[in-house]
């Protein structure tokens, strides 16, 4: 039977073996709670080794908390955060960034293929400087973007220089950071701290973990009392070892990049096979693990009736097909086969 959930979201996939094994290893005996344990210490050390820099690391349950608390640590309530108009913090966080920062305003800016247009950002910054306008304080990049594209090291560095020029902090929503690193084949530091990123919200769940994101402060002074923010927000896990241990499993032997590379590769195969089907058009470059396609509504409805789950309201419209660490060739063949058959039938009508 086709796996009808295979392309709905990388969140739909289970836990990859490396993360699962690390949790099993941590599930032994008694250790201190709230992060004062060897598993958390090891995970933090591995993140520092991976990025080759001394950084402050905190583990939270999900991406909404990671982004919201990170932004709250960078802003006062009268500040604003500039992000892409399709960014998760603007469209999918239910106002959490504003809530946790006690009112910081999100200012959306446009940009092709999900990437910020820095000229448009500059307009938001400079159009007003009076006391009645929320003072811009943070620039937020999403890596990989909500449209499945990636910022190159040069582009991130340009954003970092731009942020410093205008007195802004640079925060990165890296829910799919692993997919971006795998796509670019670069060092993780080249699209983070070396390029001017101050705080990275590093994704774990979409990379193959059960739960948990890491908030990585490359400028350690910005992390002052962040542990109190986590506690107040209900994000300080008592059994922290089970949030932290999977990071050790994923970072040892580069499993995080191997899993992301697989997901990206599956997306490339899916895109190539879909290109040959009439009535199906790629909407954006396929650079990570997302494939956005324009499909007639009648085909979308027919695919849903067959049982295929995918979203058509995320990003800039069209059908979003996500690949994950668990995507298999048979999943791709089943979906492409059904789309091919339905497209031929629709053309005949």
Give the residue range(s) of CATH 3.40.640.10 domains in the chain. Answer: 17-255
pTM: 0.95
Can you list the alpha helix ranges (DSSP code H) found in 75-136?
88-91, 96-100, 118-126
**Cα 246 from Cα 214, distance rounded (Å):** 11
Task: Going residue by residue through the chain, which has 349 residues, state the pLDDT in tens, using 9 for 90 and above.
Answer: 789 999 999 999 999 999 999 999 999 999 999 999 999 999 999 999 999 999 999 999 999 999 999 999 999 999 999 999 999 999 999 999 999 999 999 999 999 999 999 999 999 999 988 999 999 999 999 999 999 999 999 999 999 999 999 999 999 999 999 999 999 999 999 999 999 999 999 999 999 999 999 999 999 999 999 999 999 999 999 999 999 999 999 999 999 999 999 999 999 999 999 998 988 999 999 999 999 999 999 999 999 999 999 998 776 768 999 999 999 999 999 999 999 999 988 775 5
Handedness of CA 314, 243, 179, 105 (dihedral sign): positive
Measured between alpha carbons, how far is residue 82 from residues 91, 105, 112 in Å?
13, 9, 16
**Cα 235 from Cα 317, distance rounded (Å):** 33
Query: Which 3 state secondary structure label does DSSP give 172?
Result: strand
Using a 10 angstrom Cβ sphere, with 0-12 exposed, 13-18 middle and 19 or more buried, the burial of residue 172 is buried
Q: What is the pLDDT of residue 346?
A: 78
Using a 10 angstrom Cβ sphere, with 0-12 exposed, 13-18 middle and 19 or more buried, the burial of residue 340 is middle
Can you list the alpha helix ranges (DSSP code H) found in 233-328?
241-251, 255-275, 297-306
Q: Which helix (H) or strand (E) holds 313?
A: none
Phi, psi of 172 (to 5 degrees): -120, 125
CATH code, residues 5-12+257-347:
3.90.1150.10
Report whether CATH 1.10.260.40 matches the domain 17-255: no
Give the residue range(s) of CATH 3.90.1150.10 domains in the chain. Answer: 5-12+257-347
Q: What is the pLDDT of residue 314?
A: 73
């Amino acid at each position: 039977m086709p796996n009808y959930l295979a392309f709905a979201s990388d969140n739909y996939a289970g836990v990859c073996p490396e993360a699962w094994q690390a949790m099993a290893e941590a599930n032994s005996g008694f250790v201190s709670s709230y992060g004062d344990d060897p598993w958390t210490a090891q995970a933090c050390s591995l993140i520092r080794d991976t990025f080759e820099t001394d950084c402050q690391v905190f583990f939270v349950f999900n991406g909404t908390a990671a982004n919201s608390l990170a932004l709250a640590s960078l802003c006062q309530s009268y500040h604003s955060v500039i992000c892409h108009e399709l960014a998760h913090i603007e469209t999918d966080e239910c106002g959490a960034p504003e809530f946790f920062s006690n009112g910081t305003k999100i200012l959306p800016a446009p940009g092709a293929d999900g990437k910020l247009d820095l000229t448009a950002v500059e307009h938001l910054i400079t159009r007003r400087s009076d006391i009645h306008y929320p003072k811009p304080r943070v620039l937020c990049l999403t890596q990989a973007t909500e449209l499945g594209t990636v910022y190159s090291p040069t582009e991130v560095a340009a954003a970092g220089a731009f942020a410093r020029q205008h007195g802004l902090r640079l925060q990165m929503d890296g829910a799919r950071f692993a997919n971006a690193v795998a796509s670019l084949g670069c060092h993780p530091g080249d699209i983070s701290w070396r390029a001017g990123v101050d705080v990275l919200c590093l994704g774990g769940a979409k990379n193959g973990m059960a739960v948990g994101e890491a908030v990585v402060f490359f400028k350690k002074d910005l992390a002052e009392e962040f542990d109190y923010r986590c506690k107040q927000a209900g994000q300080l896990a008592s059994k922290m070892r089970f949030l932290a241990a999977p990071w050790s499993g994923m970072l040892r032997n580069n499993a995080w990049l191997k899993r992301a590379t697989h997901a990206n590769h599956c997306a490339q195969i899916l895109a190539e096979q879909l290109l040959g089907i009439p009535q199906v058009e790629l909407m954006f470059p396929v650079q990570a693990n997302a494939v956005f396609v324009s499909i007639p509504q009648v085909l979308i409805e027919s695919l849903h009736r067959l049982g295929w789950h995918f979203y058509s309201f995320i990003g800039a419209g069209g059908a979003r097909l996500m690949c994950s660490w668990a995507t298999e060739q048979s999943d791709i063949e089943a979906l492409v086969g059904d789309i091919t058959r339905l497209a031929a039938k629709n053309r005949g009508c």
